[in-house]
Structure 1
Amino acid sequence: MTMQSTPETPKGAWKITFLLFLFMLVNFADKIVVGLAGVPIMTEMKLEPEQFGLLGSSFFFLFSIAAIVVGFIVNSVPTRWVLLVLALVWALAQFPMVGSIGFTTLLICRIILGAGEGPAASVAAHAIFKWFPDEKRTLPIAILSQGSAFGVILAVPALNWVIVNYNWHYAFGALGAVGLMWVVAWMILGQEGPLVQTAASAADERRIPYAQLLTSRTFVGCVVATFGAYWALSLGLTWFTPFIVKGLGFSQQQAGFISILPWVFGAVTVILTGWISQLMLARGFTTRGARGVLGAAPLVVGGCILATLPHVAPGGWMIALLVVGSGLCGSIYVVCAPMIGEFTPISQRGAVISIYGALYTLAGVLAPTVMGSVIQRAGDTLAGYMTGFTINAVILVVSGLLGLALLWPNTERVRLTGTTQPVDALKGAVSPT
């Protein structure tokens, strides 16, 4: 039976949203553990800042490649099974660190983990799109994004307690166990969304050349803007806790509490962005304002805030500026996947969203290594951190301004599909199974 142009949200959609929220929670807890245990790892393995920066970047070596490959896979394979395999890879990649290992083993395990986690956000978003019609997607995507923030907020105190009272090796083992728990829960409760293409609608759907999709202003604008935001995020994952300990002189125990502050602020930012965006769309605002401007403008503001870091005294004010400046960047993650989904044919959506994710996460390869090199070459540790954060500020401002310029026209729906309606809001585009 063909659905109407504005389908109702299927039963069970919010249960799946919660499970995928937990999926992203585990995902980001896995990401943060190296940064959280950064000082003990550097001390035990006698690592220089450049080596630790390489360790942070290694997570992203296969991240983008895996995201693209899996993105094409989910065009035809149910996301339920793909998500299950990804989570299983994450869990198994953690257990080698429980024992005594060398730097090379740790590096290889982080590369494998990155390959498993590279497709995660894009595949989860694609799965969400199978449960919510376009005009109702922004809020569930915001909730999905908050899995990252809560993964840090909840995991950091627990993992830091393990690190302080036992050692960093057991923190990795705990994450592996939690990952396996999610796998079991998903096997029991996970389902594929009913808002999928039928064979008839797939045959009728006009495919758009990938070259046109990937060079559209909206796609390029989303990649550019999110690249800057991800630069800030990957610095936070790898270097925030070492900065608190080595740059500002706090203890590892104190740093465990301080390290959750950017994520708390970021969580509020993302939820507010999702709620405001959905409210604006419901009241007739265009996508360019309700998604494009709302997502990209905070990057410029955040960059300007980070630029003031070298001009304040080390301590509380510096932490506050870093928390607010980096926390504002989360707004862009909420809006871009829905914007791209507005004009991308359903049969191509998984691949396009994954390619978007693969491109902006290249910032994760560069940012930790650049920061490590800057710190190692600086005459003073704190001065090195300030230079690294200033570079981040410039990248944020530039990416935010370019994002605003590219996202403002937002003509892709009409140019590529010939209609002002989102692709899967069209009659016959989606059907319950």
Structure 2
Amino acid sequence: MTAQTTPKGAWKITFLLFLFMLVNFADKIVVGLAGAPIMDELKLQPEQFGLLGSSFFLLFSISAIVVGFIVNRVATRWVLLAMAVIWSLAQFPMVGTVSFTTLLICRVILGAGEGPAFSVAAHAVYKWFPDEKRTLPTAILSQGSAFGVILAVPALNWIIVNHSWHYAFGALGVVGLMWVVAWMVMGKEGPLVQTVAMAAADPRVPYFQLLTSRTFIGCCAATFGAYWALSLGLTWFTPFIVKGLGFSQKDAGWISVLPWVFGAVVVLLTGWISQVMLARGFTTRGARGVLGSVPLIVGGVILAALPHVNGAGLQIAFLVIGSGLCGSIYVVCPPMLGEFTPVQQRGAVIAIYGAIYTLAGILAPWVMGSMIQHAAVPLDGYMTGFTINAVVLVVSGLLGLLLLWPNTERARLMALAAQPKFA
């Protein structure tokens, strides 16, 4: 087989999907960024605010699975468009006076709309790049999350400080609709899709075999740990800066950018290093599996040391580095799944993977809120929550090292698929 070339227009679509993920994460971060004024205005206890953070993920996983099967049959162009419309409309009710219940419902709806975002975007971009060229586009795609925070936090925080947290939600709704217009004009379906000849050479594998493969389980376990840290960052990082360390809302807005700047560097470096390793003959076990798992363990060890360092600056540095290292796993897991999953099943498998690891988003914010509410002083509760995060990261990284073997997975699954009992 000869290597496929990258179709014309692939990078334009990658950029549009990067913007798609940028809007996606700006939507996610706004509740955490406005956490202190929201808690003050609505008179919320830490457990209630933790529940608000968790509510976003209530239908997140279910939606991801449902839409994952839909994109096996419906063009990703239209699915992405519908999702962005839902995001935008879910923001506008917060512009006026709202109750905790209204805010909770809108976040649940937003989470349902955003649940499939990364998996559908990855499936869409993989229609523009052959397998050996997918790691860097995946890294760029995932960096929509970091830049969504880096660019949005200063602007949204300015709105929160100078006007109201209500208007920050409205601004995100407007930006989402702007992306909808741009996608309607320039969005296209990728040409690298399943053909009759490809289907004959790439038989369908039973989903049970795909979803119980060690690499799929390893991806879910490893990314679960990373997402635990991510969801804490989305919900609790800014409240920790304001209520735990005593910074002002204005200063906290700038500090809140730091984990995402560091994470962006980590992710882009991972994408580049992975492709260099592959070009030099490393197996995907090393260039993807090991490369993505080791930073989780290192990040967990750094977070475990956080409660034992003194000074706000040092504590912020440990938190930024420990949580930022987790980003490597997001770059390598979707391409690993794409290695051994037949094209006609890839959208669903990546979506189910996303649905499983984002369950961490339901647990982590609520666990942190519970730790804070029941601690003698709030800072002790935060430190307990970060210690739990450290344990989760180390365990998930070790599971990744044990289970991620994508270079041998495809041959094993194809051999199983070829056996008469699966006919």
When normalised by structure 2's length, the TM-score is: 0.97
Match of 1:262 in 2: 259
Match of 1:429 in 2: none
Q: What is the distance in 2 between the residues matched to 1:339 and 1:203? A: 22
Match of 1:354 in 2: 351
Match of 1:116 in 2: 113
Are residues 1:397 and 2:399 paired?
A: no
Question: Aligned to 1:49, which of 34, 46, 51?
Answer: 46
Are residues 1:136 and 2:133 paired?
A: yes
Shift, 1:5, TM fit = 3.3
Secondary structure class of the residue paired with 1:280: helix
Q: What is the distance in 2 between the residues matched to 1:298 and 1:417? A: 31
Shift, 1:90, TM fit = 0.2
Q: Which amino acid is the alignment partner of residue 119 of structure 2?
A: S
Q: What is the distance in 2 between the residues matched to 1:293 and 1:178? A: 38
Match of 1:344 in 2: 341
Question: Aligned to 1:126, which of 123, 128, 133?
Answer: 123
Shift, 1:93, TM fit = 0.2
Q: What is the distance in 1 between the residues matched to 2:2 and 2:53? A: 45
Q: What is the distance in 1 between the residues matched to 2:295 and 2:73? A: 36
Shift, 1:369, TM fit = 0.2
Q: What is the distance in 1 between the residues matched to 2:213 and 2:204? A: 15
Match of 2:221 in 1: 224
Shift, 1:314, TM fit = 3.5
Q: What is the distance in 2 between the residues matched to 1:408 and 1:198? A: 28
Q: Which amino acid is the alignment partner of residue 53 of structure 1?
A: G
Are residues 1:291 and 2:266 paired?
A: no
Are residues 1:74 and 2:71 paired?
A: yes
Task: Provide Cα deviations, 1:43-80, integer angstroms capped at 9, x if missing partner.
Answer: 00000000000000000000000000000000010000
Are residues 1:215 and 2:231 paired?
A: no
Secondary structure class of the residue paired with 1:308: helix
Q: Which amino acid is the alignment partner of residue 239 of structure 1?
A: W
Are residues 1:310 and 2:307 paired?
A: yes
Q: What is the distance in 2 between the residues matched to 1:204 and 1:403? A: 30
Are residues 1:5 and 2:8 paired?
A: no
Question: Aligned to 1:250, which of 227, 247, 251?
Answer: 247
Q: Which amino acid is the alignment partner of residue 404 of structure 1?
A: L
Task: Provide Cα deviations, 1:313-369, integer angstroms capped at 9, x if missing partner.
Answer: 131000000000000000000000000110101110000000000000000000000
Task: Provide Cα deviations, 1:86-139, integer angstroms capped at 9, x if missing partner.
Answer: 000000000000000100000000000000000000000000110000000000
Q: What is the distance in 1 between the residues matched to 2:120 and 2:2? A: 24
Task: Provide Cα deviations, 1:186-226, integer angstroms capped at 9, x if missing partner.
Answer: 00000000001124533554110000000001000000000
Are residues 1:22 and 2:35 paired?
A: no
Change (3 A) 1:167 1:141: same
Are residues 1:193 and 2:154 paired?
A: no
Q: What is the distance in 2 between the residues matched to 1:200 and 1:281? A: 27
State how many pairs are aligned.
416
Task: Provide Cα deviations, 1:299-319, integer angstroms capped at 9, x if missing partner.
Answer: 000000000111111310000
Shift, 1:414, TM fit = 1.4
Shift, 1:418, TM fit = 4.8
Secondary structure class of the residue paired with 2:340: coil
Q: What is the distance in 2 between the residues matched to 1:377 and 1:314? A: 24
Secondary structure class of the residue paired with 1:389: helix
| TM-align CA RMSD | 1.1
Q: What is the distance in 2 between the residues matched to 1:180 and 1:350? A: 25
| Contact map agreement 1:91 1:176 (CA 8 A) in 2 | yes
Question: Aligned to 1:159, which of 156, 159, 164?
Answer: 156
Question: Aligned to 2:34, which of 37, 42, 46?
Answer: 37
Match of 1:334 in 2: 331
Shift, 1:416, TM fit = 1.0
Match of 2:377 in 1: 380
Match of 2:62 in 1: 65
Q: What is the distance in 1 between the residues matched to 2:133 and 2:253? A: 36
Q: What is the distance in 1 between the residues matched to 2:379 and 2:187? A: 47
Q: What is the distance in 1 between the residues matched to 2:190 and 2:280? A: 27
Question: Aligned to 1:102, which of 90, 99, 103?
Answer: 99
Q: What is the distance in 2 between the residues matched to 1:88 and 1:174? A: 14
Q: What is the distance in 1 between the residues matched to 2:65 and 2:278? A: 30
Shift, 1:413, TM fit = 1.5
Q: Any unmatched runs of 5+ in structure 1?
A: 420-433
| Contact map agreement 1:293 1:408 (CA 8 A) in 2 | no
| Contact map agreement 1:218 1:410 (CA 8 A) in 2 | no
Secondary structure class of the residue paired with 1:236: helix
Match of 2:275 in 1: 278
Identity of aligned residues (%): 80
Q: Any unmatched runs of 5+ in structure 2?
A: 417-423
Secondary structure class of the residue paired with 1:240: helix
